[in-house]
């Protein structure tokens, strides 16, 4: 028996190889952050599809009491001890520090990467997510236009911040792809591909953002990560 096989979540999502990192996720913008990072890092892992209506099951709650994907179990955590972890931003930082990849060692550059990661966690993710809810999903049935307009305006403001910063830059921080890029660009993709928000969010006004997004998505490892785990599994 191992930490993974003894964990309650294993009874619903059994591990084929409990000696490698286990990812429990779904290919949403938040979910693919971790699979993209894992593919870029090249760390062995096993992905389990957790559908969004399964996050309140006792098995998933035993790993993440906040009932949100993604979550991981690393059987080879700090000091060789298993680690269970949730919250996509925390997982990205953990994986970057564990591997020595996707996070600069220079203190100033590292702080800047974490700054943009928090920009996503506190801004882009919540605001784009609420825009999607009120414009595409269940909230679109609400007749009051104010919620939709609020998140549309904030989405445009956040894109303008990115647009200005990305002028003349390949990536968000320096010339190296980082967890900051990985955290943000899947949300740009979601807004364009799933929310069909080109006009609403004014994507024609942010060419630097679109150039950067396309450059990030063209990376083979990142492209693979977009499809992990299999949403139909």
Domains of the chain in sequence order: 3-102 (3.40.30.10), 107-221 (1.20.1050.10)
Query: What three-state secondary structure class fits 199?
Result: coil
Per-residue pLDDT of the chain (233 residues; tens, 9 = 90+): 799 999 999 999 999 999 999 999 999 999 999 999 999 999 999 999 999 999 999 999 999 999 999 999 999 999 999 999 999 999 999 999 999 999 999 999 999 999 999 999 999 999 999 999 898 877 778 888 898 999 999 999 999 999 999 999 999 999 999 999 999 999 999 999 999 999 999 999 999 999 999 999 999 999 999 999 999 88
Between CA 222 and CA 125 the distance in angstroms is 19
Residues 6+ away with beta carbon under 8 Å from 36 = 182, 186, 221, 222, 225, 226
Provide the whole-model pTM. Answer: 0.96
CA 170 to chain centre: 20
Residues with Cβ within 8 Å of residue 94, at least 6 apart in sequence? 74, 83, 85
Q: What is each CA distance from 100 to 42, 78, 93, 97, in whole angstroms?
A: 12, 14, 10, 5
Summarised one tens digit per residue, pLDDT across range 31-84 is 999 999 999 999 999 999 999 999 999 999 999 999 999 999 999 999 999 999
């Amino acid at each position: 028996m191992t930490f993974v096989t003894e964990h309650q979540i294993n009874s619903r999502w059994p591990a084929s190889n409990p000696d490698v990192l286990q990812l429990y996720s779904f290919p949403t913008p938040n979910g693919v952050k971790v699979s993209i990072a894992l593919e870029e890092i090249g760390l062995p892992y096993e992905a389990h599809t957790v559908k969004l209506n399964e996050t309140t099951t006792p098995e998933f709650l035993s790993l993440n009491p906040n009932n949100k994907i993604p979550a991981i179990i690393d059987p080879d955590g700090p000091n060789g001890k298993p680690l269970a972890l949730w919250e996509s931003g925390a997982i990205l930082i953990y994986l970057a520090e564990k591997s020595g990849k996707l996070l600069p060692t220079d203190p100033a550059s590292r702080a800047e990467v974490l700054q943009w990661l928090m920009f996503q966690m506190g801004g882009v993710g919540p605001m784009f997510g609420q825009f999607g809810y009120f414009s595409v999903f269940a909230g679109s049935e609400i007749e009051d236009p104010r919620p939709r307009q609020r998140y549309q305006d904030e989405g445009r403001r956040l894109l303008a911040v990115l647009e200005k910063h990305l002028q003349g830059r390949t990536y968000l921080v320096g010339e190296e792809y980082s967890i900051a890029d990985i955290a943000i660009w899947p949300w740009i993709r979601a807004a364009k591909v799933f929310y069909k928000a080109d006009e609403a969010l004014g994507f024609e006004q942010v060419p630097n953002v679109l150039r950067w997004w396309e450059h990030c998505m063209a990376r083979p490892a990142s492209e693979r990560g977009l499809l992990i785990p299999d949403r139909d599994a």
